[in-house]
Amino acid sequence: MPAFNSYPLAGDICGTEVLVVASPDGTQTLNATASQIAGAPAATKASGQFYADAGARISRYADRVFAGAATDYAGLRDRENGSQDWLSGIMATTSIGPWAMQNAQMAALSRFGTTGFVGASRTSDAQNASSFLGYIPSSIGVAAWGVADETAEPTTTTAYAFYGEAWRLPGVDYQPSFGMELEAVNLGGLAVGLSNPYAPNVGGGVYGMQIGAGGGQTTGTSDAAAGIVFVSNPNAFQTGIVFGATALTGTDGRDGGYAAAVAMSRNQAIEWHTAETVSGTAGANAGAFIRSTVSTRADGMRQEFVDNCVLFSNISGNPVFGVQNSASPTNILTVQAGSGEQAAGIYVQEGNGGSGNLGLYPANGGELQIASPVSNTGAALPASVEGGFLHINVNGSDFRIPLLTPAQAGG
């Protein structure tokens, strides 16, 4: 028999080689193939524990870990020479290059078009494990932290707890691509209560997304700058937010139903900012805003765009004022506030072929009422009218109202 270590070296391990495994004292041996020891899927039975000091087995990998098609990546220092995996190959054709795999401490790429990574956790397990965990944890399927701790100024590093890109390659015209989809799956019936700005979370409620600030810390934190920010990088969004016609309970977008697409509390506003630069900050000024300071429903109002009219109603839907549409308006009505001694006024801007008339049309039998002081009561009408006559038309008949000077009217 050839001496140990005198055999010709095999080029690699195919997995069928038979190895003899002995117990530490040499009293027991076991035959195993190389594929059972290395290079094959690892399978172990669960210990039933979670912490190492309670008997749990912890697998530790000090360096980088690649799984699935990510194993094709060479893991080299040179980004351009490590593009063997399919993701790096696609990214190498773009202007920023294949940076994703180069930066990954752990990566899993699907080789068969399936899910690359899955994380899941159950609240029932959290409850059942509370005895040996020592507490009841929140069940989180996937958790990520991007920690900004670099205090040097300037610095180019930025922290992202999660970053995702949805790529659409040329020729893909049939199905959409999503940067992220969050599904709210409610298998337990309608929630107990109604989610609203003053009670956002209700018992049994299922929510597509909740954005909080502070991370549950009790001290040391400050307000976050914004909840959601849209930026161009370098491209823009054609629309900021879209609600599908059937996305909200109460209407399908074609019926007469109602659904609240956005719900806000009293004093919260929608702002439009100007492009002005103030104290070195661009866009700090709000040029317009809409808000409600209504404190009770009984005092509320509503505005609706109905066919050919902008309608203002009380909160119960009874109309109080409306602005009627016109298919081809030529004369435009302007309401202008006054300053100082200038009177507030209603003006007709006559367009091409339009009419300069201003119409006031009381209902049948109604009156045109104007509050005004009465002067020179009982005095005779002067022989001449210095101000001329005001022309009015009542039900198709022309009339003239004399315009007297203050002296003629008796002061």
List pLDDT tens digits, range 192-208: 998 999 999 999 999 99
What's the pLDDT at 366? 87
Residue 19 has pLDDT above 80, yes or no: no
Cβ-based burial of 7 (10 A; exposed 0-12, middle 13-18, buried ≥19): exposed
User: Considering the chain, what percentage of its residues have pLDDT values greater than 90?
Assistant: 61
| Single-letter code of the amino acid located at 242 | V
Angle, CA 123 vertex, CA 118 and CA 127 arms, to 5°: 135
Q: Give CA separation, 323 vs 124, 298, 303, 311, 367, in Å.
A: 58, 24, 11, 7, 21
What's the pLDDT at 17? 72
What's the pLDDT at 255? 94
What's the pLDDT at 6? 78
Q: What pLDDT, in 10s, does the model give residues 119-167?
A: 999 999 999 999 888 999 999 999 999 999 999 999 889 999 999 999 9
Say which residues have a Cβ less than 8 Å from residue 95's Cβ, sequence separation at least 6. Answer: none
* pLDDT (mean) for 402-409: 84
Average pLDDT in the chain = 89
- Give the burial string for 381-408 (b: 16+ CB within 10 Å, else e): eeeeeeeeeeeeeeeeeeeeeeebeeeb
Strands (E), 35-133: 65-68, 106-109
CB of 110 closer than 8 Å to CB of 69 = yes
Say which residues have a Cβ less than 8 Å from residue 107's Cβ, sequence separation at least 6. Answer: 65, 66, 67, 70, 73, 100, 101
What's the pLDDT at 40? 60
Residue 114 has pLDDT above 90, yes or no: yes
How far apart are alpha carbons 134 and 58 in whole angstroms? 19
User: DSSP readout, 332-376?
Assistant: EEEEE---TTPPPEEEEE--TT--------PPTT----------S
How far apart are alpha carbons 348 and 355 in whole angstroms? 9
How far apart are alpha carbons 194 and 203 in whole angstroms? 9
What phi, psi does 382 have (nearest 5°)?
Answer: -60, 155
Q: What pLDDT, in 10s, does the model give residues 275-285?
A: 999 999 999 99
Q: Which of 171, 164, 160, 168 is nearest to 90 (CA)?
A: 168
- Give the burial string for 332-351 (b: 16+ CB within 10 Å, else e): eeeeeeeeeeeeeeeeeeee
More confident residue, 245 or 370: 245
How far apart are alpha carbons 293 and 363 in whole angstroms? 34
* pLDDT (mean) for 58-85: 87
Q: Which of 374, 358, 369 is nearest to 409 (CA)?
A: 374
Q: What pLDDT, in 10s, does the model give residues 25-43?
A: 888 888 877 666 665 666 6
Q: Which of 129, 149, 122 is nearest to 50 (CA)?
A: 129
User: Residue 71 in 3-state DSSP?
Assistant: helix
What's the pLDDT at 4? 67
Q: Which of 248-252, 345-349, 372-376 bottoms out in mean pLDDT, i.e. has the lowest?
A: 372-376
What's the pLDDT at 35? 67
How far apart are alpha carbons 40 and 268 in whole angstroms? 59
Q: What pLDDT, in 10s, does the model give residues 264-273?
A: 999 999 999 9
Say which residues have a Cβ less than 8 Å from residue 330's Cβ, sequence separation at least 6. Answer: 350, 351, 352, 353, 354, 355
What's the pLDDT at 293? 97
How far apart are alpha carbons 409 and 380 in whole angstroms? 9
Query: In this structure, what token pair is assigned to residue 122?
Result: 């159950």
What's the pLDDT at 144? 94
Q: Which residue has the tokens 């823009």?
A: 236
What's the pLDDT at 61? 87
How far apart are alpha carbons 67 and 106 in whole angstroms? 8
Q: Give the model's confidence band at 394: pLDDT under 50 very low, under 70 low, under 90 confident, else very high.
A: confident
How far apart are alpha carbons 104 and 74 in whole angstroms? 12
Residue 109 has pLDDT above 90, yes or no: yes
Q: Give the model's confidence band at 60: pLDDT under 50 very low, under 70 low, under 90 confident, else very high.
A: confident
Domain boundaries, the chain: 1-44, 62-114
Q: What pLDDT, in 10s, does the model give residues 286-335?
A: 999 999 999 999 999 999 999 999 999 999 999 999 999 988 888 889 99
What's the pLDDT at 39? 59
How far apart are alpha carbons 332 and 335 in whole angstroms? 10
What's the pLDDT at 41? 64
